[in-house]
Amino acid sequence: MTGFTDIPGAVIGDDGIAHFGDAFREQRRLAAGGAIVPLDDRTVIEVAGPERLSWLDSITSQSVGRLAPGESTELLVLDPQGRVEHAAGVLDDGSSTWLIADAGDAEALATWLTRMKFRTQATVDVRPDLVLLGFVDGGAAADRALAAASAPAGAPLVWVDPWQRVSAGGHQYAETAEHPGAELDWRVAIATSEAADALAATLAADEVAGLLAAEALRVAAWRPRWSAEVDERSLPHESDWIRTAVHLNKGCYRGQETVAKVHNLGHPPRRLAALHLDGSEAVLPAVGDAVLAGDDEVGHITSVARHHEDGPIALAILSRRTPVGDLVVRAEGADIAATQQVIVPADAGATADIPRLTRLSRRPSAPDPRQAS
C-alpha cells in the first residue's frame, strides 16, 4: 500500500483500493484521462542481463528478441498443450526488461523463469519496492504519472497496453469493425514507492480512481486478464488473446504446436463473450456464477463490473456451441437476463487455406491413342 490510502474516501478491498467514494464518477474521470489508479493488484518483475530478450523470445509466445528500448508488448507462458500458465505486460528500456504481472501470478512466473535460465546470462527479480500507476493517455493524469515514473536507464518506464490494435504477428477473431479495445488508450507507469507517495500527496480527491473503475473499463474493452479469464483449461484463442500476446510466425516455443493446430486447422472448445446484464434487480453476479442457455449450463462468469455508460456488464467463457442469443446468469438469489455479444465466434480458427485434393476416379482411364497399334 502507498500514500494513496491516505487520500480521503479511500476504501480498501481485497486487492487494493477499490474506490474513493464514487466508482461511477471515478470511471468517467479515468476514461477522460483525468485520474490515476494505484494498481496494487499487479507486481513488477525485472529481467536483466545481455541475453534477456533472446531468452524470453525462446520460451514465451511473443516475439521479443528485437524489442526496442521503450517498446511495449505482452507475452504468455504456455504449457506443452498450449494452455495459458502465466501472462505479463512487457517493457524494455535497453538495460532491463520489465514484466507487469497480476499479483497472484508474479511469484509463480518469476519462479518458472528462474528455473528456465540454465546458463542464460539473465537475472529474474520480483520488485515489491516498485508501484504501478494506471491511467488513460491524453489527459492531465498522463503528465503527472509520467513525472512520477522511474527512469533507471534515462527514459520513464511507462508500459503501453497493446490491446488497442492487433499486434504484429497476431490475429483477431472478433468480427467487428469497431473493436471496443481501440477506445482504451491504457498506460501503466512504474514508479518507486517514494515517488508514488510524493505523487499521492499532491493529488486531489477528483484526480484518483480505484480498481473498480479500472476493471470496468477493461471489461468494456473485452480485455482478458490472467487473474480473471484464465483457468486450467484456457487456450489463448478462447479469449482472443492471439490479438496481442501471441506471434503466429515466430520460432518454436512451448505450446506452439497446439496454438498453430487450433488456429490453422481446428476451433477452440470455448469462447469469450460479453454480456449486458439486466440491471432491474440491482444484483450483480459473482465471478464463477453459471451461465445458462435455456436449461443447459453453457459457461461461467469470469469478470463483472458496473460501467458508467453501459450499466452492469460481464465477460463469460462459454462452450463453443452455445447458441448466439440471450442467456441467463444464475446468481445467488436471482436469475439475471443477459444479452450476449459474441467476441470469439464459434467458427474461430481453421484459418489455413488447404487445397482440396482431386478425387480419384475408379473408372478405368481411356486408352492413350499414342500407344495404339
Instruction: Please list the residues that pair with 208 across neighbouring strands.
Output: 36
**Above 50 in pLDDT, residue 318?**
yes
Q: How confident is the model over 87-130, as pLDDT tens digits? A: 999 999 999 999 999 999 999 999 999 999 999 999 999 999 99
Give the closest residue to 205 by CA, choosing from 16, 22, 1: 22
Give the closest residue to 225 by CA, choosing from 208, 240, 205, 207: 240
Query: What whole-number distance in Å separates Cα of residue 334 and Cα of residue 12?
Result: 28
C-alpha cell at 65: 528478441
For the chain, what is the mean pLDDT? 94
Query: What whole-number distance in Å separates Cα of residue 116 and Cα of residue 238?
Result: 27
Give the closest residue to 218 by CA, choosing from 89, 51, 113, 346: 89
C-alpha cell at 104: 497472484
Q: Which parts of 182-320 are beta strand (E)?
A: 186-192, 270-277, 290-293, 296-307, 311-319
Q: How confident is the model over 135-156, as pLDDT tens digits? A: 999 999 999 999 999 999 999 9
> What is the reported pLDDT for 1?
61
* Degrees to nearest 5, angle at CA 185 with 69 and 209: 110
pTM for this predicted structure: 0.93
Size of the chain in residues: 373
Sign of CA dihedral 4, 5, 10, 16: positive
> What is the reported pLDDT for 354?
53
Instruction: Please list the residues that pair with 154 across neighbouring strands.
Output: none
Strand order in the sheet with 158-160: 37-38, 130-136, 186-192, 158-160
Q: How confident is the model over 246-271, as pLDDT tens digits? A: 999 998 999 999 999 999 999 999 99
CA–chain centroid gap for 276, Å, is 20
